[in-house]
Amino acid sequence: MTPGRRKTVPVPRLIFEKSREGRMGCNAPVADTPEVDLKAAMGSLRAELHLPEVGELEVVRHFTNLSHVNYGIDTGFYPLGSCSMKYNPRVNERTASHPGFARLHPMQPPATIPGALEILAGVQDMLCAITGFDHITLQPLAGAHGEMACLMLIKAYHDSRGEGGKRKVVLVPDSAHGTNPASAARCGYSVRSVPTDPDGNTDLAALREALDDTVAALMLTNPSTLGLFEANIVEVCRMVHEAGGQVFCDGANMNAMVGMTRPADHGFDCMHLNLHKTFSTPHGGGGPGCGAIGLQKHLEAFVPTPVVRRRADGSVELDAHRPLSIGRVSAYYGQFLMEVRAYTYLRAFGREKMADIARHAVLNANYVMERLRAVLPPAYDRPCMHECVLTAEPIKKETGLRALDISKRLIDYGFHPPTNYFPLIVHEAIMIEPTETETKETLDAFCDAMIAICAEARSNPELLRNAPTTQIVGRLDETAAVKNLDVRWRPPARHAVEA
């Protein structure tokens, strides 16, 4: 594949700029009642809003043209590390749009929605089987929300044992997602960082030193954000438990384990799952997400209410009677239609085929790592799980070009860039998560592009420095975007002069 030429697509104008006074998008029938002057009836409309006045065709063209300059999993490869940008099967949408699900109202009496409750219980049952946990709740609305809910459960657990007062510290590895320390701080904990050893595992000696009776929990991502399975996971959990702490598993990387190994068996007390990563509910555009959490029996008394509970006869009820509960963590019961999508996905695979997800995700990541090793060496040289973390440090030393320049150039080759500069402990990190849904041909085309770009870094560095050049906009000024954030449209100055 070679980089495309500059497209002739002009920068789309804003819909505000297409506005002409008096233009309308609807065609009102001739009135058979007396016409009333709008201004007289309602007073002045808020002229300062400058709402766009456009016809229906203008609106259709505007948004259709915008969709043509979008990039998503439906248009191309999206190897964004730590995000599991897998294909979301269309059948998920078909079930979620079924009127019996789509038209439910969250305030409907539970007795009128046995089918919906069965879906929720079904997802919970299957996630229990996949993770090994005793209990699953689907209430949290995002990954970080799930993390926070787990920490709240851990806090309630320590409080119930009279140890809440002294256990004020949460341990977080230096490779962790930034949401981990943020969730801990949000729950009132102070955060202590645990270093990574030279092999990419948690440094056991440093962990031992950090553990004492002030530690409430360890938050551990497994596989880690380095894309590596935590080799000492059983020992890590044992050490934390021995010190009286709890172990939370950040399940962002569950795609590497689904159907293969169960976090509850490793010794974790609780975890969160991103249905929008591992279980193929939509991820782009902010979801909406679902940060389901799983927990062992000793935390069950504290789960958020209401609990979707299966009765002995198999039927499902909403159980709000949990006196020790931390309370609701969201209105109603999570993102119901996301759970319908996840249910569809889980059923489509079934227990027998579930492990294919992890197997192919891990195989694809290792394939990419091996093909790119000569130009972008792995940060830690051992087989990876569902994603590989490479370093552009050698290229930076030789040419001065950075991981960011490589990623920007990749856009010219027609691919979404991988994650850059994360995890923080890897210099010039390039984190690639191909997922299981890509063909070998796609992976090869991506690797060919990366290899070609690394050659360009030496032969024609300006191509990288100026990239991207094939898009409707070039290299964006990220600094200005952060320092001078301004996303509000204002009418052109001409109007101001007239006024």
Partner 1 sequence: MNVPHDLKYTKTHEWVRLDGDTATVGITDYAQSELGDIVYVELPTPGRAVREGDSFGSVESVKTVSDVYAPVSGEVVDVNGALGAQSELLNTDPYGKGYLVKIRLSDPAAVSALLDSAAYAALLA
Which residues of this protein are in contact with partner 1, per CB under 8 A? Answer: 178, 420-422, 424, 427, 478-479, 482-483
- Minimum Å gap between C-beta 478 and partner 1 is 4
DSSP string, 131-192: H--SEEE----SHHHHHHHHHHHHHHHHHHTT-TTT--EEEEETTS-THHHHHHHHTT-EEE
> Are the C-beta atoms of 196 and 226 separated by less than 8 Å?
yes
Q: Backbone phi, then psi, for 407, in 5-degree steps? A: -65, -40
- Minimum Å gap between C-beta 397 and partner 1 is 11
- Minimum Å gap between C-beta 149 and partner 1 is 24
What are the CA-CA distances from residue 59 to residues 9, 16, 18, 223, 285 (Å)? Answer: 18, 11, 9, 45, 20
- Minimum Å gap between C-beta 475 and partner 1 is 12
| CB of 367 or CB of 421, closer to partner 1 | 421
- Minimum Å gap between C-beta 456 and partner 1 is 22
- Minimum Å gap between C-beta 447 and partner 1 is 25
- Minimum Å gap between C-beta 248 and partner 1 is 22
- Minimum Å gap between C-beta 374 and partner 1 is 25
| CB of 269 or CB of 405, closer to partner 1 | 405
- Minimum Å gap between C-beta 404 and partner 1 is 8
Pairing relationship of beta strands 169-173 and 215-221 according to DSSP bridges:
parallel
What are the CA-CA distances from residue 80 to residues 84, 96, 350 (Å)? Answer: 7, 26, 27
Q: What are the residues whose beta carbons fall under 8 Å from the beta carbon of 331, sequence distance 6 or more?
A: 106
Residue 35 buriedness (CB in 10 A; 0-12 / 13-18 / 19+) = exposed
DSSP string, 3-54: PPPPP-PPPPPPGGGG--TT--S--PPPPSS----HHHHH----GGG-----
> Are the C-beta atoms of 333 and 105 separated by less than 8 Å?
no
| CB of 459 or CB of 479, closer to partner 1 | 479
| CB of 64 or CB of 479, closer to partner 1 | 479
| CB of 181 or CB of 334, closer to partner 1 | 181
- Minimum Å gap between C-beta 427 and partner 1 is 8
Q: How far apart are CA 52 and CA 50, in angstroms?
A: 6
Number of helical H runs and strand E runs in the chain:
18, 12
Q: What's the sign of the alpha-carbon dihedral 353, 337, 219, 427?
A: positive
User: Hey, what are 90's tokens?
Assistant: 């269309």
Tokens 């089918």 identify what position?
115
User: Hey, what are 490's tokens?
Assistant: 């204002």
- Minimum Å gap between C-beta 482 and partner 1 is 4
> Are the C-beta atoms of 324 and 317 separated by less than 8 Å?
no
User: Hey, what are 136's tokens?
Assistant: 């699953």
| CB of 335 or CB of 420, closer to partner 1 | 420
| CB of 275 or CB of 403, closer to partner 1 | 403
Single-letter code of the amino acid located at 328:
R
Q: What are the residues whose beta carbons fall under 8 Å from the beta carbon of 204, sequence distance 6 or more?
A: 197, 232, 235, 236, 239
Tokens 């104008």 identify what position?
13
Long-range contacts of residues 348-351, Cβ cutoff 8 Å, at least 24 apart: 348/89, 348/91, 349/259, 351/129, 351/259
| CB of 45 or CB of 424, closer to partner 1 | 424
